[in-house]
Every structure is written in structure tokens, then in C-alpha cells.
A and B are shown apart, each in its own frame.
Chain A
Amino acid sequence: MGDLWEARLQRGLRLAVVVIACVHLFALSLPLMLAAAPVYRSLAVEVVAFVLVAFVLASIGLAVWRERRLDRWNLAGTLVVAAVLALVGIPSAYLVESAEWSFGVICWAGLLLLLDHGFFAVMAFLAGHVLFRFGLLEVTGEADPASVAGAAIFTVEFLAYLVGITLAAALLRRMASTVAASARDTERLRTAEAVAERLHRDRQERYAGLDTVPLLTGLAAGVLDPADERVRTRCAVEAGRMRRLFAEQDDVPDPLLHELRACVDSAERRGVTIYLGSCGARPEMPLGVRRALTEPVLAVLATARSCARVTVIGSPTSVTVNAVADGASPELPVDRKVAVSRLEHDGRHWVEATWRT
């Protein structure tokens, strides 16, 4: 997000500088050059330098407009050639006069080429260019001191613009990276929140119906007496639910039978002989339905004394889970997803839970 912003702002800045440089070239430099045509050592050399600068600016403008990569170093080379040609073509006496048309546009073009290389790259280029021009002046030593002073003041003023623009670009880059970092932070925070929320919901869904914590708290606090038959039954049901919960995570071809096996497990450990079997193909059931179907089985098994029979009867439109066991009368849970019926005969309890598609 921040990167996109920066790219857009940098492009705007560059296009603005290209426009300024072009206006400078054609509205300022061109008239100056034409007016000073007679004084040049060779007008042709100046024209070549002008064309080269125009070419460099056009290439930069095109690249920025189309958002292509700049052929930076070739253009920089061309620019240096243009700068040297332009300065060499002027008799040294005129180097600080209006006949020197190239200084400003070359600075603009150099700025454009090096802007994204940072503040110091631009400064180094500008310093080099200024030193070359005034160095040439020093070597030939034919300039009017007053003109040199005027040119120096003009140069300082002009450079101030360029430095301002370079600083603005650097500032823009820093702001954009701050924006990007803060956007990343916000995004990371939002993702973390979403993940935490999802985890919490998953956990709540998974543990829905578990009564383990109150039970353990009650036992720890001494409110619930392990010698109490009802407390032991609650413990047996919870143990079965926990095992079922673990079984729910497994990837198996027949989840209902797998979960029933888990329910049966804790009763078997108590020494109850259990038969578990199924008959007929079944439609697929969501987790909630499977839980509702296995709940009565847990209740029956929790009170089973010596033997129990758990069977699943499937049909294309319904699934019935039966549990038959001896022992005390089970307390059956109520769940509207399934129809539960019970029958007692000769000390054996038969509970049947049916789900219809």
C-alpha cells in the first residue's frame, strides 16, 4: 500500500521536473543559444549538445510516463558528452555570460537521472558539474570577475531549487516507507486478531457441551463427592466426551463408528463387555448430529454395569444409534436434532436416537 503511494508520488514529482526542464530547455536555453550564435567557436557543436540534452530529457520523460526502467548510465554518459560539448564550444570569455545556455538544463537532467539514488548522489553530480564549469573558467582565466560573481550567485540560487526538490524526494521516500510500515503493522495486527478470533470460535465450538471444568472444580473444592454414584456417572460421561472429542479430530472413513468406539472405550476400561456393530449404509452427518446421536450412548454406558450393546442402523434417509445396557436407569440429554426413545425390560435399558435427513 505504502509502496504504491510512493511510486505514484515519485512519478508525479519526476514528471513535474521533466516539464520544468523542457520549459527551461526550449523557452530559456534555446533563445539564449540562438541569440549568442555568432560568438560560439562552432554553432554546430552547440546544436549537437542541445539535441543530445533534448534527447536525454525526452528519454527520461518517456520512461517516467510509461513507467519503464531508465537506461540510466547510457543517458548519463550522453548528458556528460553534451555538457562537455556545450562548454567547450563556448569561448572562455563567454563562459559566465548568457551564451552559456546549458548549465541549468544539464543540472535538471542530472537531477532526474539520479533522483532515486538518494540525496548525496544528486549533490555529487551537481558539485561535479559546477566544479567543471568554474574549473574551466579558472584554467582559461579570461572571465570578467564581476560576471563570475554574478554567475556564482545565480548558481547558488539555482542549486537551492534543485536541493529543495532532492530533499522533497527523499522526504517523500521516507514518508512512504513509514506509511508502508504502518500499513504492514496494521495488516499484521488485523490478521493476528482474525486468527485469534477464529481459534477462539473453533475452541468454543469444539468444547461446546463439555462439562469438564465445573466437574473438576467441584471435585477439587470438595463440593462434589467421588463416592456419590451420580458424581461418578458424570465423570464417566465426561471421560467419554473427552475421548469422543479427540476422536472427532481424526480423519477416518466412518466418523460416527470411530466416535462411538471412543465413547465405548472408557466403559470397556471399567470392565463392561460391549458389542459395537452397524448395519446398513448411512448418509453423511455433520458433527453436531453425530454428537447428538452419541450423547445418549454415553449416558447409557456411564451407568452400564456388566454388558452393553451399541448398534448403528443406517438407511438412505435416517440413522439410528441404539444402546442397550444393564445397570441403573440413565439420565438422557435432550437435543432437538435427534429423536430419542427409551424402553426398559428386565433390568435392561434400551435407548434409541434417530436422526432423519
Chain B
Amino acid sequence: MADLIGVVVVDDHPATIAGIDAWCAVAEPPVRVIDSGASVAVAWTEPGASADVVVLDLQLGGLVPAFADLRRLVDAGRQVVVYTMREDRDTALNCIDIGAFVFLTKAEGPVHLIAAIRAAAANLPYTSPSLARAIGDDARQGRPRLTQREIDVLVNWFASESKEMVARKLNLSVSSVNTYINRVRIKYANAGREAPTKAALVARAIQDGLVSLDEL
């Protein structure tokens, strides 16, 4: 049991916490929910402080999204999966800029959430369809430059939510689809604000040969 991934869930809706609890329990191998609560304090105090991954809702009671809490967690080196009702592009890109590991919307179910938690625990990139949409729609100045192929893969990933289908449609292997998606994620991790988690993500990608230093 010692190598089970431990998560702390910060969400102000008990139903969401209960749902995540249930999904984690039936995951194979299971994911352990160490603590949960409506305030980000549960992630800073034991037992939540030693969790591998923080699942963070952006809308905690107030009207203002919890970007400041996200920034403090990231600066403390925590792996954060943002799990939110907000679907807009700017929120997604903002979370990634701050250094969230994964951006997920609540419309995206257990398949994505469990996969995202595992990826975060292993310092591996994970790009949800909603994040793929935000990146595909990114029109900001100074955004990372993507190749046409990368954009095609991202957009089709958003459209179909199935890497197998994207692979068949674009005549690629599933691992190539993953590679394209992950490379985009690394380009975004490498851009903008410095954060220890982003550095870890890029370092791991270079180590795994996903990208080379001169590509970044």
C-alpha cells in the first residue's frame, strides 16, 4: 500500500469530493484520498500536506478564481490538478502559465481525472481535451510556436476525446499522437513564468527523449 498515490481534494462541493473519492477507490490500482475539504488549508496541513497530488477546484466559495492559492501551491513544489467548472480558454491557459500540472474541466470524467492524477504523480505531462482546446485557440502574443501537425493532433483530440481515433484519422500510431500532444504541453511548460513543477516536467521530458534541449 505504501506506493499508492495519495491525493488531497480541495473542493467546496461535498458531492464532488464524494465522487472523486469513489472514482479513486475503484481505480486500478486505487488512488488514496488522504484528506479533503472546502478550504485549501487541507493541502497545507497534515495529513494533506504530504499528499503527492493536490486536486484543486478554482471556485472556492468566492467569486474570484483561486489563482493565488494555485500559485502558492505550485511555488511550494506541489503537483496540482486543477479540476473546475470553468471551461474558458483564458482560465485554462492561465492555470498552465501559473504552473498547474493538469487542467481539467468537471465535464471531463473519471477517465481523465485518474489518468491526470497518475501523470502528475509521475511528473509526466497530461493534456485534457479541454486544455487541448484552449491551446488550439491560443491567440496571445508570445505563445509557444506549434507545428501544423501538432495543432491538427490537438484539435482532433479535443474533437474526438479518443487518441485511437485521432491516430486512425491522421494515419499515425497512438504513441505518435501522445508524443505530439505531450510535446505541445512541454512547450507550454517551458514558456512563461518559472515554477519548480514546470522545470520538473521539462526535465523529465528531456530525460525521456520527448523533446531535445535545442527544440525548446
Q: Is A322 an interface residue (CB 8 A)?
A: yes
A309 touches which of B136, B159, B164 (Cβ 8 Å): B159
Least CB separation from A309: chain B residue: B161
Query: In the complex, are the beta carbons of B168 and A324 less than 8 A apart?
Result: no
Minimum CB–CB distance for A356 against chain B, Å: 16
Q: Is A31 an interface residue (CB 8 A)?
A: no
Query: In the complex, are the beta carbons of B133 and A346 less than 8 A apart?
Result: no
The verdict on A324 contacting B136 (CB below 8 Å), with A343-B169, A345-B164 known, is no
Q: Is B158 an interface residue (CB 8 A)?
A: yes
Q: Is A350 an interface residue (CB 8 A)?
A: yes
Query: In the complex, are the beta carbons of A352 and B159 less than 8 A apart?
Result: yes
- Chain B residues with Cβ under 8 A from A345's Cβ? 162, 164-165, 168
Query: In the complex, are the beta carbons of A309 and B160 less than 8 A apart?
Result: yes
Q: Is B76 an interface residue (CB 8 A)?
A: no
A277 touches which of B133, B162, B165, B169 (Cβ 8 Å): B133
Q: Is A266 an interface residue (CB 8 A)?
A: no
Query: In the complex, are the beta carbons of B165 and A324 less than 8 A apart?
Result: yes
The verdict on A348 contacting B136 (CB below 8 Å), with A277-B87, A313-B155 known, is no
Which residues between 328 and 357 of chain A lie within 8 Å of chain B, taking CB atoms?
A: 343, 345-346, 348, 350, 352
Q: Is A253 an interface residue (CB 8 A)?
A: no
Contact with A along B147-182 (1 / 0, CB 8 A): 000000001001111101100110000000000000
Number of contact residues on B: which range applies?
A: 10 to 19
Query: In the complex, are the beta carbons of B159 and A313 less than 8 A apart?
Result: yes
Q: Is B146 an interface residue (CB 8 A)?
A: no
A279 touches which of B133, B160, B161, B164 (Cβ 8 Å): B133
Complex formed: what's the CA distance from A120 to B78 in Å?
108
Query: In the complex, are the beta carbons of A280 and B136 less than 8 A apart?
Result: yes
Least CB separation from A310: chain B residue: B159
Least CB separation from B165: chain A residue: A345
Q: Is B107 an interface residue (CB 8 A)?
A: yes
Contact with A along B106-142 (1 / 0, CB 8 A): 0100000000000000000000001001001100000
Question: Helix, strand, loop or mixed for chain B's interface?
Answer: helix
- Chain A residues with Cβ under 8 A from B159's Cβ? 309, 311, 313, 320, 322, 324, 350, 352
- Chain A residues with Cβ under 8 A from B136's Cβ? 279-280, 313
- Chain A residues with Cβ under 8 A from B164's Cβ? 345-346
Number of contact residues on A: which range applies?
A: 10 to 19
Least CB separation from A323: chain B residue: B159
- Chain B residues with Cβ under 8 A from A320's Cβ? 159
Q: Is A65 an interface residue (CB 8 A)?
A: no
- Chain A residues with Cβ under 8 A from B137's Cβ? 279-280
- Chain A residues with Cβ under 8 A from B158's Cβ? 277, 279, 311, 313
Least CB separation from A274: chain B residue: B107
- Chain B residues with Cβ under 8 A from A322's Cβ? 159-160
Complex formed: what's the CA distance from A346 to B107 in Å?
22
Complex formed: what's the CA distance from A279 to B159 in Å?
9
Least CB separation from B89: chain A residue: A279
For B133, B158, B159, B160, the residue with the greatest tally of chain A CB atoms inside 10 Å of its CB is: B159
A275 touches which of B107, B168, B169 (Cβ 8 Å): B107
- Chain B residues with Cβ under 8 A from A324's Cβ? 159-162, 165
Query: In the complex, are the beta carbons of A343 and B168 less than 8 A apart?
Result: yes
Please list 29 pairs of residues, one from A and one from B, whose beta carbons are closer than 8 Å in the complex, sorted by A's number.
Answer: A275-B107, A277-B130, A277-B158, A279-B133, A279-B136, A279-B155, A279-B158, A280-B137, A309-B159, A309-B160, A311-B158, A311-B159, A313-B158, A313-B159, A324-B159, A324-B160, A324-B161, A324-B162, A324-B165, A343-B165, A345-B165, A345-B168, A346-B164, A348-B165, A350-B159, A350-B162, A350-B165, A350-B169, A352-B159
Q: Footprint of B on A, CB under 8 Å? A: 275, 277, 279-280, 309, 311, 313, 320, 322, 324, 343, 345-346, 348, 350, 352
* 10 nearest CB pairs, A to B: A322-B159, A279-B133, A311-B159, A345-B165, A279-B137, A279-B136, A324-B160, A313-B155, A350-B160, A280-B137
Instruction: Taking A279-B133, A309-B160, A343-B168 as given, write out 20 further A-B residue pairs in contact, using a Cβ cutoff of 8 Å, ordered by the A residue number.
Output: A275-B107, A277-B158, A279-B136, A279-B137, A280-B137, A309-B159, A313-B159, A324-B160, A324-B162, A324-B165, A343-B165, A345-B165, A345-B168, A346-B164, A348-B162, A350-B159, A350-B160, A350-B162, A350-B165, A350-B169
